[in-house]
A and B are shown apart, each in its own frame.
Chain A
Amino acid sequence: MAEIAAEAGVPFAARQRPPAKVVGPAAWARRNLFGSWWSTALTLVLGYLILRFAWGFFDWAVVHAIWTVPYDAQGHANSAPCRAQMGVGACWAVIADKYRFILFGFYPYDEQWRPLVCIALFLALYAISANRRFWRRELGLVWIVTLLLILLLMHGSETLGLTVVTDDRWGGLPLTLLLATFGLALAFPLAVAVALGRRSRTLPAVRLLCVVYVELIRGVPLISLLFMSSVMFPLFMPQGVNFDNLLRAQVAIILFAAAYLAEVVRGGLQALPKGQYEAADALGLSYGRKTRLIVLPQALRIVIPPLVNTFIGFFKDTSLVLIIGIYDLLQSGRAAVDDPVWQGFGNEVYVLLALIYFCFCFAMSKYSRGLERDFSRSRRR
């Protein structure tokens, strides 16, 4: 456009800035918040409610909050000052006293550096994977090694001098990250395979199997699947054969997530123009190469938003394992306030839990938006 204007002989200097009435924050507010008497009224009412709530929260969480409580000679916290302020101010002392239980559940107190290292390993793994410079074949190897290392650290090994901690004592944040990461990392390839299988024209039996799998799994709630894995599954197995509870819950989550992700991926496969398949065929690419080089890179880019949506949903859905007695982050937090000293101080703990979940989910959402932007930049313009 600039060249056209220049060629037409319109000097740039002659152009004026738009008047302040059109741009700037004041104009924005006028246009969007006070455009008519109706929107002005709405702005005022909602503004009042938001301020009112924000002030109430601030008053509770900061102004009247109690940050520490006295400890007696045995090291037990005395929650009496908090009880006196209950309902008026937050008692953050509950978190100071209980944070290790919330974060690590029933994991032996002296060994809790191990789950802490695991959390660090998870975060490092996410950080590395997020960087597109590292998107190479070796990254898969890094994932496998890191995940195995995490399992080893959590479980321990006598030969390495680490006390064995069986997984019924695992809990808290590492367990949530474990369920979510293993769940999605294994569900995703399965989902791609199922989505491709469902679109197969040459293998009708495979297609039928994929359809049945997706429809069966999607037809039941995750809770019932978890119950089935925990209660019914052992009934069908011969005496003496028993897989542990956590593993069964993990498998249930993988199968459930894969069914949903498969439908998302299938959407991407369908959105790809037929011409792309034909061009790949015409060049003589085999099915495998066509899928890997042409179809999946494009189909998966198309479905980044719904894919991340599903990821975020499943990250939070891992908290449903609490119904079969697994102490994930949410359940550990709930259990922390079962302590008679801290009974009734659930709000403070839930605020913390919400904050932790929010950090992870928001990071995923933010990252996916960046990814979308990068991909669309290389595609168009």
Chain B
Amino acid sequence: MSVTVAAEELPEVQSAVKADAAPAIVMEKVSKWFGTMQVLRDVSMTIAQGERVVICGPSGSGKSTTIRCINRLESHQEGRIVVDGTELTDDLRALDTIRREVGMVFQSFNLFPHLTILENCTLAPIWVRKMPKQQAETLAMEYLTRVKIPEQAKKYPGQLSGGQQQRVAIARALCMKPKIMLFDEPTSALDPEMIKEVLDTMIGLAQTGMTMVCVTHEMGFARQVADRVMFMDRGEIVESGTPVRMFEDPQTDRLKLFLSQILRGH
């Protein structure tokens, strides 16, 4: 477990939830099995545009699988998932549309090691969005500046630290101008001193009103940024609510146990 950043250190983030608009993500009774093992059990949620949701839970609870279902890196077997008004099916065209609108940041960065930082960022805009190269590079530099590493543009991912790589990964996803950003444990593979720089970048992103779904153990971040926290265990959503309510007044024994485990040692 990584160091939790205390809420007081972080800047204030205004809520940007647009409750009246069409929801960004709808999951209805989604179930999934790996072989005979059920990893998701009737997971249902509605995430509004501009909403920031943190999903937490013990390992193996299905939180990663849940957000990987949102851009169909995993396919669900029962239930319904609608992202930005498009239902996820085997239809490849619907899949293309959704992946264009949903950016994802991985635990292990997954930058392309054979391409420079700039090429990593311009690849998808050029090939998927059909953007002219010049324009894509301007855009990439803009986002690299925003994650505070424009000077690394000509280097290769292997030459950067973990924290820098993860910030590039965020910039790479943002270059596609997504409407929704998914974060799958973005700080879990980082050394403690690099966690803050990545969290700061994510907070900066939250301030722009981006719809964000984060799987993370960073409770300080959740407290500061999240509109809602969901607690998952054994493939189902056990409890959800505002961060303050969840952390200060947990209703279920499973969440109480989880919180006591995660806060031990801090």
Contacts and interface: CB of A to CB of B under 8 A. Distances in A.
Interface of A: 273, 275-276, 278-286, 289, 293-294, 297-298, 301, 375, 378-381
B73 A283 contact: no
Contacts of A286: 96
Nearest to A294: B112
A281 B110 CA distance: 11
A380 B103 CA distance: 27
B247 interface: no
25 contacts: A273-B110, A275-B106, A275-B108, A279-B104, A279-B106, A280-B112, A282-B73, A282-B104, A282-B173, A283-B99, A283-B123, A284-B96, A284-B99, A284-B124, A285-B127, A285-B128, A286-B96, A289-B127, A297-B114, A298-B113, A301-B114, A378-B156, A379-B113, A379-B114, A379-B158
B100 interface: yes
Interface residues of B, number: 25
A274 to B, nearest CB: 9
B73 A381 contact: no
B114 A282 contact: no
A276 B115 CA distance: 12
B71 interface: yes
A194 B123 CA distance: 27
A285 B124 contact: yes
A293 B124 CA distance: 10
Interface string B74-117: 00000000000000000000001001101110101011111000
A283 B111 CA distance: 11
Nearest to A276: B110
B55 interface: no
B121 to A, nearest CB: 10
B124 A380 contact: no
Contacts of B104: 279, 282
B15 interface: no
A298 B114 contact: yes
A67 B253 CA distance: 96
B78 to A, nearest CB: 21
Interface string B145-175: 0000000000010110000000000001100
Interface of B: 71, 73, 96, 99-100, 102-104, 106, 108, 110-114, 123-124, 127-128, 156, 158-159, 172-173, 176
A275 B127 CA distance: 20
Contact of B73 (A281, A294, A379, A380): A281
A284 B73 contact: no
Nearest to A274: B110
Given A286-B96, A379-B156, A379-B158, A278 B110 contact: yes
B100 A284 contact: yes
Given A284-B100, A284-B176, A289-B127, A276 B159 contact: no
A200 to B, nearest CB: 15
Contacts of B156: 378-380
B222 to A, nearest CB: 23
A5 B43 CA distance: 57
Contacts of B103: 282
Given A276-B110, A279-B110, A283-B128, 15 more contacts: A273-B108, A279-B104, A281-B71, A281-B73, A284-B96, A284-B99, A284-B100, A285-B124, A289-B128, A298-B113, A301-B114, A378-B156, A379-B114, A380-B159, A381-B159
A269 to B, nearest CB: 15
Contacts of B124: 283-285
B108 A380 contact: no
Nearest to A286: B96
Contacts of B112: 276, 279-280, 294, 298
Contacts of B114: 297-298, 301, 375, 378-379
B72 to A, nearest CB: 8
A282 B159 contact: no
Contact of B158 (A293, A297, A381): A381
B198 to A, nearest CB: 17
A278 B106 contact: yes
Nearest to B107: A275
B99 A281 contact: yes
A312 B110 CA distance: 34
Nearest to B68: A278
A173 B256 CA distance: 79
B109 to A, nearest CB: 8
Given A275-B106, A275-B108, A379-B158, A282 B123 contact: no
A281 to B, nearest CB: 6
Nearest to B71: A282
A289 B112 CA distance: 14
A380 B114 CA distance: 10
